[in-house]
């Protein structure tokens, strides 16, 4: 069973990252295509595999990282939700979402009832959804997600992640996604050109 192959990390998992504009990071055309994709990542993952699954690692109120607080322009505790997105039995993406308690309690959004369902599916059904600019980060092998990737796939290499702020129903959600080496993002690593 997949849970035995990929033992779930202890929540909360993520550590701070340095986020920047996509043009500040060297990316292959495949990586740029995935990281700067504006639509629903959930739908794109589903179209690239036979079986898609969400594994909830945890969702509870806590103080986000300082850098996340600055990005959201608030310093209060918020709800942190972390999940793994599985495709065909393998974790492809680690996702971390941050939103206010008022968003979790918002009856329109029903975020408290998501469980092992996709946040993306829920958000992209909303007609009032808007999103901010995409930011990209390089995830070092020494980062906790890099170590997980090494543990699961025996590959020690930098990973790539992206994030953006979504606005809907009067609430803001900061959603970040780190692509593991099992994902299609790394299929064409040899295309890297020095800028």
pLDDT digits (tens, 9 = 90+) for 3-42: 568 998 999 999 999 999 999 999 999 999 999 999 999 9
- Across the range 68-73, mean pLDDT stands at 93
The predicted-structure confidence for 132-156, as pLDDT tens digits, reads as follows 999 999 999 999 999 999 999 998 8
- Across the range 157-182, mean pLDDT stands at 96
More confident residue, 191 or 54: 54
| 153 backbone dihedrals φ, ψ, rounded to 5° | -120, 5
Spatial distance between the Cα atoms of 41 and 72, rounded to a whole number of angstroms: 22
What local confidence, expressed as pLDDT, does residue 194 receive? 35
- Across the range 74-79, mean pLDDT stands at 93
Residue 193 has pLDDT above 50, yes or no: no
What local confidence, expressed as pLDDT, does residue 20 receive? 96
Spatial distance between the Cα atoms of 73 and 67, rounded to a whole number of angstroms: 10
Helix runs in 25-83, H state only: 29-35, 41-47, 66-72
Q: Report the chain's mean pLDDT, rounded to a whole number.
A: 92
Q: Are 165 and 69 in contact (CB under 8 A)?
A: no
């Amino acid at each position: 069973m997949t849970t035995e192959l990929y033992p779930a990390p202890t929540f909360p998992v993520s550590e701070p990252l340095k986020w920047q504009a996509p043009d500040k990071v060297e990316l292959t055309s495949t990586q740029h295509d995935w990281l700067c994709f504006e639509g629903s990542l959930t739908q794109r993952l589903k179209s690239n595999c036979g079986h898609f699954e969400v594994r909830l690692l945890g969702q509870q109120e806590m103080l986000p990282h300082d850098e996340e607080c600055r990005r959201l322009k608030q310093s209060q505790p918020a709800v942190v939700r972390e999940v793994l997105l599985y495709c065909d039995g393998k974790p492809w993406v680690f996702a971390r979402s941050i939103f206010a308690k008022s968003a979790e309690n918002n009856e329109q959004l029903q975020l408290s009832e998501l469980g092992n369902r996709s946040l993306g599916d829920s958000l992209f059904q909303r007609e009032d959804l808007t999103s901010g600019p995409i930011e990209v980060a390089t995830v070092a092998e020494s980062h906790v997600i890099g170590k997980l990737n090494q543990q699961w796939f025996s590959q020690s290499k930098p990973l790539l992640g992206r994030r953006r702020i979504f606005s809907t129903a009067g609430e803001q959600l900061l959603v970040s996604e780190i692509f593991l080496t099992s994902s299609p993002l790394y299929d064409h690593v040899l295309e890297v050109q020095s800028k």
